Amino acid sequence: MPELPEVETLRGDLEKEVVGRRIKTVEVSGMRAIRRHPNKKHFINKVQGQKIERVTRRGKYLLLSLGEDVLLIHLGMSGQLLKAAVKDPVAPHTHVTFTFTQGGQLRYLDPRTFGEMFVVSNEALLTEVPEVSELGFDPVVDVMSWDAFGARLRARKVKLKTLLMDQRFVAGIGNIYSDEILWAAGLRNDRSSESLSTQEVRRLYRAVLETLNDAIKHRGSSLSDQQYRDLYGVVGSYQSEHKVYAREGEACRRCRQPVMRSRWGQRSTFFCGACQV
Ligand SMILES: [Zn+2]
């Protein structure tokens, strides 16, 4: 699933490619991608003719400002946004196609259809979309001191990985980056959040910022399914920098002990049993 670094990479691409463009027409196949709207016409009427003024990000959500309204996009498990020319063949699983007055298209593909997009007014964004208004701090956009971060950690008594993946605590981190952050901090995923020393809080805080920013520099992670692509259809390169994620049995890059894997809810977590304490 795309996490903060992948969504931030797309945000930067969209800023370059679609800001200032006016949406001439929108084609929608099926209701799945726009399921919050009562029907296609309702969605189309809200976006057709609008100019994209700005592209921002909150956690894993992309926000395309359209004057009074905002178009929110969440990629779910396998959503892709791709820049295309009108003449380009239409790939399978293309759900929404925006054609711009100035030429060119933005296409939304999603094989597994967990992703979605919807339009709300700027006011409604704060009151009717709790998934966005209740997001915790965004490590790339918001400024928070490490001691404020520590106070929040200590106020909770949950396992570190659970807390990092809680979107209301910190926005944008999922299964991959929580494992990578905890390895960088040298902390175990099941350590309780209130048990950290001051030193460990600082290490964790630094690991959050450094891991995410490093992943953005590498334009995100594309796993073996290659489902994550940037706006130009190109895969990211951070997967080759992963220290633990999907490296079960391989040598830890810090202590050479084999990386371990264990069950975490419905998913897996990867860690070094020797140097993460
Ligand atoms: Zn290790």
Q: Using one digit for the tens of pLDDT, what is the confidence trace for 84-100?
A: 999 999 999 999 999 99
The predicted pLDDT at position 220 comes to 97
Model confidence pLDDT, tens digit, residues 264-275: 999 999 999 999
* CA of residue 48 to ligand 1 center, whole Å: 53
Ligand 1 centre and the CA of 43: distance in Å?
Answer: 50
Q: How many Cα atoms sit within 13 Å of 266 on the Cβ side?
A: 0
57: enclosing H helix or E strand = strand 54-58
Instruction: Give the CA dihedral 30, 35, 40, 41, nearest 10 degrees.
Output: 180
pLDDT at residue 225, rounded to an integer: 79
**Ligand 1 centroid vs 251 CA: distance in angstroms?**
8
- Residues whose CB is less than 8 angstroms from the CB of residue 112 and which lie 6 or more positions away in sequence, other chains included: 76, 77, 78
Helix (H) or strand (E) holding 13: helix 4-17
Measured distance CA(171)–CA(140) in Å, rounded: 10
Report which residue type is found at 168. Answer: R
The rounded Å distance from CA 277 to ligand 1 centre is 10
What's the pLDDT at 246? 95
Find out whether 165 and 173 touch, Cβ atoms under 8 Å. Answer: yes
Alpha-carbon torsion (259, 260, 261, 262), positive or negative: negative
Distance CA 33, CA 241 (A): 32
Spell out the residues 6+ positions from residue 191 whose beta carbon is closer than 8 angstroms to its own: 159, 160, 277
Active-site amino acid positions? 2-3, 60, 267
Q: 109 phi and psi, to 5 degrees?
A: -115, 150
SS3 264: strand
Report d(CA 164, CA 175) in Å as an integer: 9
Q: Which segments of the chain have a pLDDT < 50?
A: none
Q: Which residues pair with residue 138 across a beta bridge?
A: none
Percent of the chain with pLDDT over 90: 97
What is the pLDDT at residue 203?
Answer: 98
* Helices first, then strands: H and E counts in the chain: 8, 10
Query: How many angstroms separate the CA atoms of 96 and 79, rounded?
Result: 11
Tell me, what's the pLDDT at 1?
Answer: 87
Tokens 């400002």 correspond to 65
In 3D space, the residue among 265, 274, 275, 261 whose CA is nearest the CA of residue 165 turns out to be 265
**Do the Cβ atoms of 252 and 274 come closer than 8 Å?**
yes
pLDDT for residue 190: 97
